Structure formats: C-alpha cells, structure tokens
A and B are shown apart, each in its own frame.
Chain A
Amino acid sequence: MDNRLFVNEETHPIETAWVIKDIIYIIIAAMFFGVFVYFYLLLRASEKGYNNPQFTRIFTGLILAGVAAFNLISIINLILRRINFKYNFGEQDILLKQGIIAKSQRQTFYGRIQNIKIKQDFVDKLLNIASLVIETASDGGGAATMLRIKGREKKAEKDMNRFIILLPGFGTASISIPGLSYQNAANLKNFIMERIKSNPIDDMHSGL
C-alpha cells in the first residue's frame, strides 16, 4: 500500500513551537543589529554636527520603524514558508513542495540519499524538537546562517552548524525539515532507512 497518504507533513508536522522560536531568534538578531547601527550612525551624525533633538527624534523614529518593518516581514515570511512547505514520503521517493510566490517541487529517490542528520540546538533540546536534514551527493547547502562565529575553519564549521537557523526546504542539495518533534524525527529517520534498504541501486560499487 502506498504510504504516501500517511507519512507527510500532516502526520509529522513542523511544530508551532519551532516557528515561534525562529521568530524570536530573528527578532533578537534584528534588535542587536538595530542597536548597533543606531548608535554608530548617531555617532557619525553628531560628528558632522547634526545634534539637535528634533533630528534625534526623527532618526530614532526611522530606525525603530525600519526594525519593526523588518521584523514584521520576517515573521510573515517564516509563517508563510512553513505553511507552504509540504513533504510526502512515498514508496520510492520523497516529494517536496515549497514556495510562497515562486513554487518549486523536488523529488528525491531513497536510493540517492547519502546520510541523514538529526540536529538539535540548545533551545530545541528544551522544547523537545529536532531538525531532520537529508543529504544527497551534492554540496550540503540549503541553510541560512544568522550569526557567524570567528575561528579556525574546522571550529568555524562546527560553530556555524550550531547557530544555523535551518529554514524549511531544499536549497541546493540538502533537504531540511526543522521543527519536527524529536519522536517524529526519529520515526522519519527509521522510515527512510527502511526505504533505503528496499530501494537498492543497480550499480552498488560507487554507493551513489
């Protein structure tokens, strides 16, 4: 029987907790950035002689409006992204659909999946949610970094992985489904592993 009906984004949904968490991350990042930009520009402006209170009020208002607008757009973007991300685990492939305005669709055969990662960041552990990342044999992309940490390359990669906010979807190659409950993520992983076993590739020498 085709499992396409049963293993999809309705039975294994992206939890609301994750959307809220992501929104909070973006708001905090925007605040930090906004505060930094605000004081820096204010300093530069007062150097050039613009220090009357009326200017300061207008400037403050502008910056606040800018940050608020950015936050609003990000929130709407995240919510719409989550609503529009659909995934369907069938017998031989995974069918994914995403896109708010520009729609795209992707099919990944089980036989082509190289490895499966389940990641949790610090907050995820508290909320008991996890992200499922499915990688195929191309560059492991498809994530958006919000904060970058300095350091040697290997350490930077590890730190980057810690702070990457995985957006739902498929970027270049890896598919990421963040915000699943941990149990659902583990179930999906086992499901995929079973399917990989029952979908062997003819030429197994390369493992691709």
Chain B
Amino acid sequence: MELAMSKTREQFPLSEKKPLKKTLPCIINCIVLFILLLVGYLTFAPLTYRYFSSNSVLATSLFAAILFAVICFLVYQYQVWYFKVYFYDLNDDFIVIRKGVFTPCEISIPYERVQDIYVDQDLLDRIMGLYDVHLSSATISSGVEAHIDGVEKAAADGLRKVILDKVSEKIKKKNN
C-alpha cells in the first residue's frame, strides 16, 4: 500500500520513526503488565503452592507473553497503516490535513485564518527526536485536530517557515 503523497509531504515528510513512537506506549504497558504478572506469581506462589504448579505458571506466562507480542504487533501494523494514510498538503489557499484509518477526518484551514503555529514534543518525541506542528485557528478544537505530528526538526522548521510566509503574504495582500 502506497503512501498518501503530496508535494508538501515530499518536501517535509513524516518521519519513518513515527509508527514506532506510537507503538512504544503499548509496548511499555505490555512489558509492565507482564512483569506485574510474574511478580504476582512469585509473591503468591509460596502461599498457594497447591494451586499453582510450576507447569501451569510457565504455561500462563508463555500465553501472556505471546498475547502481548501479538497485541503489540497488531498495534504496530495499525500505526504503519495510519502513517501511510496520513495526508497533508499546503495548497495555494488553504492547508488540508487528513488522517485516520477507520474514521478519516479532514480539516481545511485557509491561510488567513491561521492564528498561531506551535511546535511541541512530548517525552517519547524528545527521545526519538520528533516534533508536532500544531496549527490553530480561532476555534477551540482546531488546535487539537489540525496538527502534523511526527516530523523531524528540519521538516518542522521548514513547515513552520512556509506556513508563516504564506500567512503573512496573504495578510499583506489584503491590506494593499
């Protein structure tokens, strides 16, 4: 399945590390749960040794490990699919961002309506060197919805510069 390409995406591409970054929270949760499971067995085994034979403990641990591995794999595949369907483009008049695999949501903001652009990183973004570019217009929900996340520094700076240039160009044109 091919990427949803546009000129902007060629110029400022999403980082390939993005699906991994989105899967990491799931992986971390699974590992923590697995460790808790083992700790639980170790703590309670001496108390209820009649109920937990070592074979059944091994079997359930193995089952849990396989289950977690399958879940993480499926989540990763979904994130890869999400990464491929992610579409954003800077047209002449407006910015369009479309994302979502099963529930695609597309938001279009004309340049004149862009109020601010902010770039942020959460913890995993900092570890992997990724940035989120958020656009907001005068509605409250647009800051949450209109964002391009998982770009690297060069792309984030480039996007910011291009959008700001276009916005100020549009504003100047109206004032002339």
Q: Which residues of A contact B (CB under 8 A)?
A: 113-122, 125, 135-140, 154, 157-158, 161-162, 173-174, 189, 193, 196-197, 200-201, 204-205, 207-208
Cα–Cα, bound, A125→B138 (Å): 29
In the complex, identify which listed stretch (B39-47, B103-111, B153-161) lies at the interface while the others stay far away.
Answer: B103-111
Q: Are B104 and A125 in contact (CB under 8 A)?
A: yes
Residues of B in contact (CB 8 Å), total 28
Q: Does B127 contact A (CB under 8 A)?
A: no
Q: Are A207 and B93 in contact (CB under 8 A)?
A: no
Residue of A nearest to B112 (CB): A207
7 residue pairs bridging A and B, Cβ less than 8 Å apart = A114-B109, A114-B139, A115-B139, A118-B108, A119-B105, A138-B139, A157-B141
Residue of A nearest to B110 (CB): A196
Q: What is the interface of chain A mostly: helix, strand, loop, or mixed?
A: mixed
Minimal beta-carbon separation of B147 from chain A (angstroms): 11
Minimal beta-carbon separation of A201 from chain B (angstroms): 8
Cα–Cα, bound, A121→B104 (Å): 7
Residues from chain B with Cβ under 8 Å of A201 in the complex = 112, 174
Q: Are B137 and A207 in contact (CB under 8 A)?
A: yes
Cα–Cα, bound, A113→B108 (Å): 11
Q: Does B171 contact A (CB under 8 A)?
A: yes
Q: Are B103 and A137 in contact (CB under 8 A)?
A: no
Q: Which residues of B contact A (CB under 8 A)?
A: 93-94, 102-110, 112-115, 137-142, 144-146, 170-171, 174-175
Given A154-B144, A204-B170, A207-B114, A189 and B102 contact (CB-CB distance below 8 Å):
no
Minimal beta-carbon separation of B139 from chain A (angstroms): 4
Q: Are A117 and B170 in contact (CB under 8 A)?
A: no
Residues from chain A with Cβ under 8 Å of B175 in the complex = 204
Residues from chain A with Cβ under 8 Å of B109 in the complex = 114-115
Q: Can you name 18 extra interface pairs (CB under 8 A) apart from A120-B104, A135-B142, A207-B138? A: A114-B113, A114-B139, A115-B108, A115-B139, A115-B146, A116-B107, A116-B108, A117-B105, A117-B107, A117-B108, A122-B102, A140-B140, A140-B141, A154-B144, A161-B105, A196-B93, A196-B110, A204-B171
Q: Are B93 and A137 in contact (CB under 8 A)?
A: no
